[in-house]
């Protein structure tokens, strides 16, 4: 005959109720990217439940998207890909700043841009490994805390 331990029966009613209450108290705000399969609290895909993380994720997607990559909205994105290897020179930095400013004012107008800093990292044998930008920004509707976002525009192995 089989012998069962009562502790191995599974989740109890109280634990399931607590999980349901947690989902109601912290409703999902947006889908987390890159896409990941969700857990029991999220559903099919992982979700953001924090406004700061949702805005950061949306801002990153805006910076990494080039014109024509978004269905039904050709001009969505900052269109930085064509400037990738020229970042660091004053003319191209100004063009990148202009494109980012225009995209943010159109799609995320609640973000106040502060500073723009291009960077590149040299890999092995003096080859270019990464090219990216670092932007500091704030969101006055939430708080005036300064936030930073680093975006890699080009990475080579």
What domains, with CATH codes, occur in the chain?
50-155 (3.10.450.40)
d(CA 75, CA 77): 6
pLDDT tens by residue, the chain, 157 residues: 767 666 656 667 777 777 666 666 678 888 999 888 987 777 789 988 888 899 999 999 999 999 999 999 999 999 998 888 787 788 899 999 999 999 999 999 999 999 999 988 877 777 767 888 999 999 988 888 999 999 988 876 5
CA distance 11 to 9: 7
Instruction: Please give the C-alpha separations between residue 74 and each of 3, 11, 78, 105, in angstroms, as whole numbers.
Output: 64, 48, 11, 16
Contact 137, 147 (CB under 8 A): yes
Task: Tell which residue, 68, 149, 80, has the closest CA to residue 115.
Answer: 149
């Amino acid at each position: 005959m089989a012998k069962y331990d009562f502790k191995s029966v599974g989740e109890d009613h109280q634990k399931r109720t607590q999980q349901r209450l947690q989902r109601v108290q912290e409703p999902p705000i947006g889908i987390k990217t890159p896409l990941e399969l969700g857990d029991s609290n999220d559903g099919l895909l992982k979700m953001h439940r924090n406004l700061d993380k949702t805005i950061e994720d949306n801002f990153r997607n805006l910076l990494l998207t080039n014109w024509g990559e978004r269905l039904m909205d050709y001009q969505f994105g900052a269109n930085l890909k064509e400037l990738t290897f020229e970042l660091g020179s004053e003319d191209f930095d100004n063009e990148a700043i202009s494109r980012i400013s225009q995209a943010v004012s159109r799609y995320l107008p609640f973000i106040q841009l502060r500073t723009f800093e291009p960077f590149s990292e040299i890999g092995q044998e003096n080859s270019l490994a990464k090219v990216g930008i670092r932007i500091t920004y704030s969101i006055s509707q939430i708080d005036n805390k300064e936030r930073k976002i680093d975006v890699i525009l080009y990475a080579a192995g």
